[in-house]
């Protein structure tokens, strides 16, 4: 029943690790695939990772790259608890995922039986919803309902805890049916039918008509809502430029003339200056989080009006008070506004604003020490981007390499950028790339990682070669926790407490070779960068590249925690328009 519902829901791959409490379901997967082979139909492969955290991130990568619900299948106890981090990560980034955990038999629950864990208590605080199935007659309906909850509204992970005796139960498969969740469905119905009425649209365009410098601020909600095309049409129809959050990268083609790149703590200087200068801010599927808004009261200081569109009512006025808002489906809302604006013949004259933004892009462009004899990470990414032209799927770990990738890669469409945003989970990049490759078998998938981050799930290199996935893995090696070191240099007087790994002994190339990578190369000469990058990208199978980069390369621009954009640090090679002589240390309550 479990496996058939997974198939009926369109699952094309399962990620998981076996164990005693989940063996009945694993056997069902085997029997299902055996029957599919006999019928000449596509199987539903079960991908085995190095550990369950890897399985969770693979399912998340699959979901992020495809828009479908990712599925993770693990055993009880440690199998379940190893997925806590991917579940929380997916909840924080609104990623649809199903985690099915085996559990000890119903009669043994609460007895501290072998490999028992209180999954509902643990997962209930980090998942969108948790089910403990004790009535086997409700199993089929529960699995379907879990998919419904995971993919609808604001997406998120749903955990299903299934005792072994429930898995072993025999009954009639109905092929239909869901659980009664009237409150949730009532809210969904209201949101789905919350169209923008003409008077609301008139109010919006009344505000826009008074604006001379409007700016769209797009977040990950645009991608989750499949609203990128609608956002692009709205932006181009009325000439409104776009900045995106880290999670919103790809929601708007970064090569589009109206794109102003990423804003925020490590956003482009010209993007942040655009936010400083705009007189109307239109937030779409974004939440004014701390990495963007910094000091909310001083964010977008010249914006006389702020509009906010989101699927989640809780986000409206949560951080920043707004003047116009709409809660509903983003794609429908943007299409409605576009239709109304065109029907009324709206023509805003934003030509002066466009000229000002073009000047910002030129004057405050991203830049770095191009004359350095050391390999600069930005140069490596520029070379990869030159070959991939904004069409590759890029996953990352978390740290400096993550920000460099966000800053220097192009993304022509959504679901090409996979990163752990809100949770900032190191070790995310490699398993997410694996999930993305299974979701898009013909796509070029590249994991941009750091030496510290990839160590977290280094065992998944073997998963890449086990399934002969043509994933390209880049390790930008600066011998340590680069982002932590950058903060220690800025705010802790250079005391490298537990962040300097220059004495570590790992030979990444030999380790990759041991895991089956036929192409495993170390790049340590700047003159070799173009040649090696090209052969690495063109290699037909799994490829691993370690790049020895400048250990002192930093992520700039940088807006310190608790600081405003006028205190942005741009480093030595990006032109700043505000002189920042002293970098203020974070206050006692400021976040990393």
Which residues are marked as active site?
52, 114-115, 164, 483
543-548 and 46-47 strand pairing: unpaired
SS3 168: coil
Helix or strand (DSSP H, E) at 167: helix 164-167
Q: Is 302 helix (H, G, I), strand (E, B) or coil?
A: coil
**Separation between Cα atoms, residue 442 and residue 538, nearest integer Å:** 14
Contacts of 347 (CB under 8 A, 6+ apart): none
Note whether 83 and 143 are within 8 A (CB). no
Q: Which of 559, 574, 572, 214 is nearest to 360 (CA)?
A: 574
b/e code 19-50 from CB counts within 10 Å (16+ = b): bebbebbbebbeebbeeeeeeeeeebebbebb
DSSP characters over 519-576: EEEEE--GGGHHHHHHHHHH-SS-EEEEEE--TT----SB--TT--GGG-B-TTTS--
Residues written for the chain: 592
Query: Which positions ≥6 away from 449 have C-beta within 8 Å?
Result: 396, 397, 401, 429, 430, 473, 474, 475, 476
589 token code pair: 């309550």
> Going by C-beta distance under 8 Å and a sequence separation of 6 or more, which residues neighbour residue 565?
272, 273, 275, 276, 294, 299, 559
Q: What is the Cα–Cα distance from 519 to 514, expressed in whole angstroms?
A: 11
Query: What does the block give as tokens for 440?
Result: 């898009």
Residue 565 has which token pair? 């954009």
Work out the burial of residue 373: count CB atoms within 10 Å of its CB; fewer than 13 is exposed, 13-18 middle, 19 or more buried.
exposed
Two tokens, residue 97? 């995922």
């Amino acid at each position: 029943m479990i496996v058939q519902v997974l198939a009926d829901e369109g699952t094309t791959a399962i990620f998981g690790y076996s164990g005693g409490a989940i063996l009945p379901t694993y056997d069902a997967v085997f029997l299902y695939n055996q029957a599919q082979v006999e019928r000449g139909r596509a199987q539903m492969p079960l991908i085995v990772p190095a550990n369950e955290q890897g399985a969770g991130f693979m399912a998340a990568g699959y979901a992020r790259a495809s828009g479908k619900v990712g599925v993770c299948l693990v055993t009880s106890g440690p199998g379940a608890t190893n997925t806590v981090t991917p579940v929380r990560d997916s909840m924080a980034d609104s990623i649809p995922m199903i985690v099915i955990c085996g559990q000890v038999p119903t009669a043994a629950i609460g007895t501290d039986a072998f490999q028992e864990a209180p999954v509902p208590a643990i997962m209930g605080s980090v998942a969108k919803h948790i089910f403990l199935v004790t009535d086997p007659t409700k199993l089929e309906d529960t699995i379907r309902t879990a998919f419904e909850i995971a993919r609808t509204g604001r997406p998120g992970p749903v955990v299903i805890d299934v005792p072994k005796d429930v898995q072993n139960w025999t009954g009639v498969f109905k092929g239909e049916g869901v659980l009664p969740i009237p409150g949730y469905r009532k809210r969904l119905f209201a949101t789905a039918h919350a169209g923008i009425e003409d008077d609301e649209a008139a109010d919006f365009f009344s505000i826009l008509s008074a604006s001379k410098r409007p700016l769209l601020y797009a977040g990950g909600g645009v991608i989750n809502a499949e609203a990128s095309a609608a956002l692009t049409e709205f932006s181009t129809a009325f000439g409104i430029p776009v900045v995106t959050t880290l999670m919103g990268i790809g929601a708007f083609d970064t090569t589009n003339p109206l794109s102003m790149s990423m804003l925020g703590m490590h956003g482009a200087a010209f993007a942040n200056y655009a936010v400083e200068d705009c007189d109307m801010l239109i937030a779409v599927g974004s939440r004014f989080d701390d990495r963007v808004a910094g000091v909310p009261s001083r964010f977008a200081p010249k914006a006389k009006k702020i509009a906010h569109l989101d699927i989640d009512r809780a986000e409206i006025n949560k951080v920043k008070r707004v003047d116009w808002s709409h809660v509903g489906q983003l794609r429908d809302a943007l299409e409605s506004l576009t239709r109304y604006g065109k029907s009324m013949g709206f023509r805003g004259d934003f030509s002066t604003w466009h000229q000002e933004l073009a000047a910002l892009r030129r004057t405050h462009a991203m830049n770095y020490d191009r004359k350095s004899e050391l390999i600069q990470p930005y140069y490596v990414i520029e070379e990869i981007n030159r070959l991939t032209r904004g069409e590759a799927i890029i996953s990352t770990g978390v740290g400096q390499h993550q920000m460099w990738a966000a800053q220097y890669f192009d993304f022509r469409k959504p679901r090409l950028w996979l990163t752990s945003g809100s949770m900032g989970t190191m070790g995310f990049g490699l398993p997410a790339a694996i999930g993305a490759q299974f979701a898009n078998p013909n796509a070029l998938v590249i994991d941009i990682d750091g030496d510290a981050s990839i160590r977290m799930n280094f065992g998944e290199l073997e998963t890449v070669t086990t399934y002969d996935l043509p994933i390209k893995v880049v390790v930008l090696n600066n011998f340590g926790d680069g982002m932590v070191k950058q903060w220690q240099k800025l705010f802790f007087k250079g005391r490298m407490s537990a962040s300097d790994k220059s004495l570590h002994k790992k030979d990444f190339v030999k380790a990759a070779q041991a895991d089956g990578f036929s192409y495993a190369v170390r790049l340590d000469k700047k003159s070799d960068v173009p040649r090696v990058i090209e052969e690495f990208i063109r290699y037909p199978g799994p490829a691993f590249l370690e790049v020895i980069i400048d250990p002192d390369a930093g992520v700039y621009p940088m807006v310190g925690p608790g600081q405003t954009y006028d205190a942005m640090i741009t480093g030595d090679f990006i032109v700043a328009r505000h002189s920042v002589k002293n970098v203020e240390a974070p206050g006692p309550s400021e976040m990393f």
